[in-house]
Structure 1
Amino acid sequence: MVPFRQFVLKVHSRCDLACDHCYVYEHADQSWRRRPKVMSQETIAWSALRIAEHVKSHGLDQVAVVLHGGEPLLAGPGRLLAIAEALESALTGLCRLDLRLHTNGLLLDDHFLEVFEEKGVKVGVSLDGDRAAHDRHRRYADGRGSHARVLASLARLRARPHLYAGLLCTVDVAGDPIAVYEALAEQEPPRVDFLLPHATWEEPPPTGAGDWLTAVFDRWVADGRPMAVRLFDSIESTSRGGPSFTEALGLEPSDLVVIETDGAYEQVDSLKSAYDGAPETGLDVFRHTLDDVAAHPGIRARQRGLDGLAETCRRCPVVDSCGGGLYPHRYRAGGFDNPSVYCADLLQLITHVRGRLRRTHELTSAQLGELAAGHGGAAAVGALAAGQASLRRVALTAAAARGPAWELLTRIDAERPEALAAVLAHPYVRAWAVRRLAGTAGEAHLGNIAAAAAIRAGVTATVEVEVREGVACLPGLGVMPTERTTISTADAWEPVRRLTAGGLSVVLEDTDPYRDCHQWTPAPRLTSEQALAWQELFAGAVEVIGREHPAYLPAMAEGLTTLTPLSPPAHGRDTSSAAREAFGAIAATLPADAETLALLLMHEFQHVKLGGVLDLFDLFDACDTRLFYAPWREDPRPLEGLFQGAYAHLAVTDFWRARRDPKGRERFARWRDDTAQAIETLLGSGTLTPLGERFVRGMRESAAPWLAEAVPAEARRAAQEERARHRARFDRT
């Protein structure tokens, strides 16, 4: 038996709206007419007792109770307080109580909110989107719309964000999906539930729900997922083998029961849309335990998983996500052994979402916000790295010739996928694949990738490889000295050198032939003394960052995998670089001191992070070919170049901000103003996507406070003079 963990208490059976899509009043079941309007104190007490009895019997650590209706606020604040206290009294010491209420919002005033504040009741509100969509159905009996009053209630609820559970939106394909989505997002809900209008094969819904939801999903993803959406999150979770978060999807057994105002136990109340009496069990809280309810055939029917579905559903390729859809939506005269009446729509949506999952990885809205601010935590950069892993796999698959090396890779991927994943984590694998697809690199390097994976997997094999200067590079692993192009993975090889300090460990990459993707010439293989010099300076740089800029270290520890030495350029200045096709790698000349290397690492890792974001999201119109003034370059830059420079100079400015010497004050004064100017240029470009504008506004929020910081007049003057000289040089070119 599956114990119940979710309980819906119908605390009031009437409503102050006359919504024409309501399954309680407008569909087949009309049992509300014979029930008491409000749940009595006796029914409340028995309900609390039965839930506590069930918790003890099954050792449950948490239950969720939703106060529902009709409209639960019609019960009044006093009755709702009594219900909360009865549940609290019955369950304290037994389990955690997740107490929620769902309302149409019309009566939600400060009196109610004080009760909910006292008892920790989270509140969900029904909102169908913009005024046109909402007032099409959610009207008073006299035909007036309720949208304005709901928004006023939401304003009060949003002032207590810890009580704000989210929004429920009933889908109406007659409405504009994007207008609905934008209206919901404007209310900043922590979660949105999209509810397909209740329908059956006897009374089918209008077509088009799949198109409607797909449009909303694409916009939600493009916006960086600003709130949880239970429907979309459930599809993604079940597609990865995880749980569903809604009874409308997935194969998990139902663990929900409804208690009506008269104490009757019912199955999921949306069954009221099927036929009169459909949700009834004939059981009640006064005479029956919840274990009695769990034995009811209707409850059992919703707990059989795949075995409880129609044959058509069991053969469906998305059944693990769909789960046959919501149980009431399967009804046809004679029973529920049918696919959902929304079968085609669910197939369309799930297939679309899964296609997106295969193409890329996504970041949460919060993670994007962290990155926009200039830092980004380990989880955010980890998500970028996961996206890069997918991109490298796709690029490798596209670039690889089918042959022995490919067969070895597919075998390792099947038997030891972690070994291949470790090799694909090396930045220059993608650099080779990109060049191979462009026709500027040979296919032999695939053998080097396969050999590295085989060594990591402990697989002995003979592989044809690319050999340069007497060594075969094993990406991310080391080199194998050889003059032959055919090697055995059992032969001796030399591991790469690593730089370690302060929780960071990166490959000191001086052998990979595709490390030349940076704009500067890579240094030849280092001597032991040169490698030691890098280690000493790297340790000092990490110490500087940890002491003066600790917010940057978690992201670096997660995403910085490789440091590539560069040959000193003819101009003799410190040089560094990051390459878009080599996420995780930074290239640099060896500077004179640890402080300079710290600056170079902070600067270039900004480019690494933003490159990872741009690989996943469109932040601007790539067709915009205009060139812009960049305060740190002598040449005009395309929009992406200006974007990259502004983002990198958030870290550059932050670095100099910590320096209190005259040089540091002057650099801070210059770069804070120039970075702020570049950010305003981006915002005024007219070419940012909505997500791009949000990202750049996050950059602005980080840079804006710096403009108010006091800087010595001499430093400000020197910065202004240097800025003027730079602009004059630019204008002359």
Structure 2
Amino acid sequence: MTRIPLPFSQFVVKVHSRCDLACDHCYVYEHADTSWRTRPKSIGDEVLAKAAERIGAHAATHRLGAVRVVLHGGEPLLAGPDRLRLAAEALRAALPPGCALDLRIHTNGVLLSRRFCDLFAELDIKVGISLDGDRAANDRHRRFADGRSSHPQVLRAVALLQEPAYRHLFAGLLCTIDVENDPAAVYRALAELRPPAVDFLLPHATWDDPPKRPSGPDSTPYADWLLAVHDRWEADGRPFAVRTFESVHRTRRGFTSLTESLGLEPSDLVVLETDGTFEQVDSLKTAYDGAPATGYDVFAHSLDDVAQHPGIAARQSGLAGLGATCRACPVVRTCGGGLYAHRYRSDDGGGGFDNPSVYCGDLMALINGVAANGGSVSLPAQSAAPVVPSALADHQLDELARGYGSADTIRALGRSQLALTRAMLAAAWDASGQGRGEAWSLLAALDVAAPAAVDAVLAHPYARAWAARQLAGDLGTGLGPLAALAAAAAVRVGRGDAVAVPVRGGWLHLPTLGRLALPDGEAVVTGTADGFTVRTADGTLRTVLDEPLRRVRLAGGWTVALEDVDPLRDSHDHAVSTRLTGGELLDWTGALREAWELLGRDLPGYAEGIRAGLTTVTPLRPGPAGRDVSSAARQAFGAVGIARPATAPTLALLLAHEFQHVKLGAVLDLTDLYDRDDDALYFAPWRPDPRPLEGLLQGTYAHLAVTEYWGTRTLAYDGLPGEAADRARREFALWRRYTAEAVERLAGSGALTALGSRFTDGMRATAAPWLAVPLPAAAERAADRARRERAAV
């Protein structure tokens, strides 16, 4: 299979190609593209079935954890309930196990009824409504063909979605900007409807057909309009999500954009028309007739075929795909050149889209205006906490490059990770559009009163794991985990602060503390001087944890948590264990104590860093017989997952191996060791499949510790017979070769930065002396056999 730059994870499926309104700013019917005239009004059964099959196969091939499908038009409600049911059921049935479906419908709302809403509730279809503001603003463009207003029907649709039975279906409002509408009036009209989100959209325009500018060509009326809305939105405490504003805040601080119209993230969206043809984004319809066409269709082409279309590639090329003017612009990483369609000009010598956006001046003014008006991603009480942590000192980076890391160096990594966690939590909260909610306000207040308590909770490894999921679009847990973090901090502070926390799956979880068994719903947690109280909706009062988080105290004062209660601990690549029984806890305690003693004896250069940075061991379910299972989650600094092995020496090895991954992940958050745009694949000596460069780097770094572990044991067995000694020599012979070969493969990749080359030199310096240790010929022959057997797999 040919590799593609980026798999699709968002799909727009046109279920109906006509509309019951005649909006004069519609890009489908009122702009340059006329392909709608020749397409079937409604999508056919065969097209739907094949589309679901293609999406399911694409998700399986690329192991997608979730896909988003938007049922669109024209007006999709014209397709009728039966066809919408068919679409939803076909899509859900075609997805592979483990791939979630985020299914949405975007409608003008005119036909929305209780029958449709019942269907959407049954099939879990979220609903977005187009509305341009109050009646005067909406009627400027959104009318029926005979001139009648659509505003009353749209308000009825929104009122229906506000009913308790349907409120969870309401995805938000889409408002197309007209600068002749009063921004304050538009904002008030939309805010009064209490939407979860509002998208303010620039009207589609190109250099051939520019947007109206009442005050002249050099004015920035769209920025002025949006900034007026932004000021009111900020003053109201951000009562709903606005992707445009949040994307400006996020991209200025190095995070991803939430919208294709800003930022440099590659597009991962494709459109399916009612006739089964694949198209690029709909906004291209405003450029020229046929602009979105790919020449591909659902029957003859896979989605991987579509992903290789030049037009798709152009929208995935980031900074390199922009013209020289844009690349030199100081706000390019936020602006991203604007929406691709808005760059089109027909008379530019054939470049087509190789231009700044027709909204260039507005985008510049908007970004600078939002920046000037604030918008922080750190906790309000900790504005001094860095969003991008300071770099490691040279000697610390050199320590880490050698595979080691003193306690001070690992603590420096921990501080940088805590700062990043704070930034990611704030970004996740910003993206929720919840404004200054109860949980966030409490966390901010406690951050002023007792920052150490807040730090202790936010340093919990799975706090960042939740933020990473939210920012990646996995919203299944909602904001409950952040409320739980605030509650845990309140309990630690113990000054009487209270916060409501959702109870899900029969448990209320307090990170770093434990959990209580409660009926699902909501409970109020209050931190008291003596501990806490938890009050449920029926008045039940609880003051004791049913399952506290258990910790093992090891020699030298090191304490490690055995995390078997956090619902977010499933961040590892393997299934997590259930709550440990009393006997299992005793087994773990004994194994950890013995493993820690072995680490101090056999790997002292690694043990110091492990003690300083490893706070949490998450028990995993056992693997197949004879196979050890362990994992480090990229977004959970300080934690490793391990299925308790049969022997303490193996546990010591797994702890050292996985903590290497933890350390290197933190280093990669601070430094660029390799070209992030390098998409080549590299073979690791110990694996049959090629991997991206980071995979080779991670494996090599982890195996520095593996090599030293077996090397130290080999030296301890020097001259002694027996199976344990022979095994140590065989493993040492194998892993020292693997590691040395992998170091040279990294060095010869051509993709390392200057720091990456220096880092690789450090790994080479650690691996080299082990190559000089003499071994019996039998051990070398055994290593050769093992290499051949692995290569044949």
Deviations 1:333-353 (A, max 9, x none): 130000000000011111111
Q: Which residue of 1 aligns with 2:363?
A: 346
Q: Is the 8 A contact 2:323 2:356 kept in 1?
A: yes
Matched, 1:84 2:88: yes
SS in 1 for 2:295: strand
User: How far apart, CA to CA, are the structure 2 residues paired with 1:505 and 1:190?
Assistant: 33
Deviations 1:625-668 (A, max 9, x none): xxxxxxxxxxxxxxxxxxxxxxxxxxxxxxxxxxxxxxxxxxxx
Provide closer, same or farther for how the CA distance between residues 100 and 361 of structure 1 changes in structure 2, counting only shifts above 3 A: closer
SS in 1 for 2:140: helix
Candidates 139, 148, 173, aligned match of 1:144: 148
Deviations 1:475-514 (A, max 9, x none): xxxxxxxxxxxxxxxxxxxxxxxxx9962399xxxxxxxx
Matched, 1:199 2:174: no
SS in 2 for 1:212: helix
User: How far apart, CA to CA, are the structure 2 residues paired with 1:543 and 1:141?
Assistant: 69
User: How far apart, CA to CA, are the structure 2 residues paired with 1:290 and 1:503?
Assistant: 51
Q: Which residue of 1 aligns with 2:58?
A: 54
Q: Which residue of 1 aligns with 2:380?
A: 384
SS in 1 for 2:136: helix
Matched, 1:355 2:359: no
Deviation at 1:158, TM superposition (A): 1.5
Q: Which residue of 2 aligns with 1:72?
A: 76
Deviation at 1:389, TM superposition (A): 6.6
User: How far apart, CA to CA, are the structure 2 residues paired with 1:326 and 1:12?
Assistant: 25
Amino acid paired to 1:300:
A
Q: Which residue of 2 aligns with 1:432?
A: none
Deviations 1:310-332 (A, max 9, x none): 11110111111110000000000
Q: Is the 8 A contact 1:6 1:257 kept in 2?
A: yes
Q: How does 1:212-223 map to 2 (within 5 A)?
A: 212-223=225-236
Q: Which residue of 2 aligns with 1:605?
A: none
Provide closer, same or farther for how the CA distance between residues 545 and 31 of structure 1 changes in structure 2, counting only shifts above 3 A: closer
Candidates 171, 194, 217, aligned match of 1:188: 194
Q: How does 1:105-504 map to 2 (within 5 A)?
A: 105-159=109-163, 160-207=166-213, 208-333=221-346, 334=350, 335-357=352-374, 383-387=379-383, 503-504=492-493
Q: Which residue of 2 aligns with 1:672?
A: none
Deviation at 1:61, TM superposition (A): 1.0
Deviations 1:187-236 (A, max 9, x none): 11111111100000001102310100010011100000000001111111
User: How far apart, CA to CA, are the structure 2 residues paired with 1:541 and 1:265?
Assistant: 60
Amino acid paired to 2:195:
P
SS in 2 for 1:357: coil
Provide closer, same or farther for how the CA distance between residues 134 and 417 of structure 1 changes in structure 2, counting only shifts above 3 A: same
User: How far apart, CA to CA, are the structure 1 residues paired with 2:301 and 2:170?
Assistant: 34
Deviation at 1:25, TM superposition (A): 0.3
Q: Is the 8 A contact 2:59 2:96 kept in 1?
A: no
Amino acid paired to 1:350:
I
Q: Is the 8 A contact 1:14 1:69 kept in 2?
A: yes
Deviations 1:83-116 (A, max 9, x none): 1111111115251100000000000001111111
Provide closer, same or farther for how the CA distance between residues 44 and 417 of structure 1 changes in structure 2, counting only shifts above 3 A: closer
Q: Is the 8 A contact 1:13 1:37 kept in 2?
A: yes
Amino acid paired to 1:542:
A
User: How far apart, CA to CA, are the structure 2 residues paired with 1:156 and 1:150?
Assistant: 10
Q: Is the 8 A contact 1:28 1:275 kept in 2?
A: yes
Deviation at 1:239, TM superposition (A): 0.9
Q: How does 1:627-646 map to 2 (within 5 A)?
A: none
Matched, 1:542 2:555: no
User: How far apart, CA to CA, are the structure 2 residues paired with 1:501 and 1:242?
Assistant: 29
Amino acid paired to 2:373:
R
Q: Is the 8 A contact 1:117 1:163 kept in 2?
A: yes
Identity value in percent: 62
User: How far apart, CA to CA, are the structure 2 residues paired with 1:253 and 1:505?
Assistant: 46
Q: Is the 8 A contact 1:55 1:94 kept in 2?
A: no
SS in 1 for 2:530: helix
Amino acid paired to 1:204:
P
User: How far apart, CA to CA, are the structure 2 residues paired with 1:109 and 1:302?
Assistant: 37
Deviations 1:656-707 (A, max 9, x none): xxxxxxxxxxxxxxxxxxxxxxxxxxxxxxxxxxxxxxxxxxxxxxxxxxxx
Provide closer, same or farther for how the CA distance between residues 332 and 546 of structure 1 changes in structure 2, counting only shifts above 3 A: same
Deviation at 1:547, TM superposition (A): 9.0
User: How far apart, CA to CA, are the structure 2 residues paired with 1:106 and 1:114?
Assistant: 16
User: How far apart, CA to CA, are the structure 2 residues paired with 1:336 and 1:70?
Assistant: 26
Q: How does 1:88-103 map to 2 (within 5 A)?
A: 88-91=92-95, 93=97, 95-103=99-107
Deviations 1:36-72 (A, max 9, x none): 0000001000100110111111111110000000000
Unaligned 5+ runs, structure 1 = 363-382, 391-414, 426-499, 507-539, 552-733
Deviations 1:587-620 (A, max 9, x none): xxxxxxxxxxxxxxxxxxxxxxxxxxxxxxxxxx
Deviation at 1:354, TM superposition (A): 1.7
Q: Is the 8 A contact 2:57 2:95 kept in 1?
A: no
SS in 2 for 1:32: helix
Deviation at 1:357, TM superposition (A): 2.9
Structure number with larger C-alpha Rg: 1
Q: Is the 8 A contact 2:13 2:70 kept in 1?
A: yes
Deviation at 1:386, TM superposition (A): 2.6
Amino acid paired to 1:127:
L
Deviation at 1:356, TM superposition (A): 2.6
Matched, 1:24 2:24: no
User: How far apart, CA to CA, are the structure 2 residues paired with 1:245 and 1:29?
Assistant: 27
Amino acid paired to 1:351:
N
Amino acid paired to 2:202:
L
Deviations 1:548-595 (A, max 9, x none): 9999xxxxxxxxxxxxxxxxxxxxxxxxxxxxxxxxxxxxxxxxxxxx
Q: Is the 8 A contact 1:502 1:543 kept in 2?
A: no
Provide closer, same or farther for how the CA distance between residues 66 and 543 of structure 1 changes in structure 2, counting only shifts above 3 A: same
User: How far apart, CA to CA, are the structure 1 residues paired with 2:259 and 2:57?
Assistant: 25
SS in 2 for 1:137: coil
User: How far apart, CA to CA, are the structure 2 residues paired with 1:215 and 1:417?
Assistant: 41
Q: Which residue of 2 aligns with 1:651?
A: none
Deviation at 1:417, TM superposition (A): 12
User: How far apart, CA to CA, are the structure 1 residues paired with 2:107 and 2:322?
Assistant: 33
Q: Is the 8 A contact 1:199 1:273 kept in 2?
A: yes
Deviations 1:173-196 (A, max 9, x none): 000001101111111111111110
User: How far apart, CA to CA, are the structure 2 residues paired with 1:175 and 1:298?
Assistant: 35
Deviation at 1:355, TM superposition (A): 2.0
Deviation at 1:293, TM superposition (A): 0.3
Deviations 1:350-395 (A, max 9, x none): 111122337x679xxxxxxxxxxxxxxxxxxxx33134879xxxxx
User: How far apart, CA to CA, are the structure 1 residues paired with 2:171 and 2:377?
Assistant: 27
Amino acid paired to 1:191:
A
SS in 1 for 2:104: strand
Q: Which residue of 2 aligns with 1:682?
A: none
User: How far apart, CA to CA, are the structure 1 residues paired with 2:281 and 2:199?
Assistant: 17
SS in 2 for 1:114: helix
RMSD: 3.2
Q: Is the 8 A contact 1:100 1:124 kept in 2?
A: yes
Q: Is the 8 A contact 1:197 1:205 kept in 2?
A: yes
User: How far apart, CA to CA, are the structure 2 residues paired with 1:259 and 1:501?
Assistant: 50
User: How far apart, CA to CA, are the structure 2 residues paired with 1:298 and 1:145?
Assistant: 38
Q: Is the 8 A contact 2:261 2:339 kept in 1?
A: yes
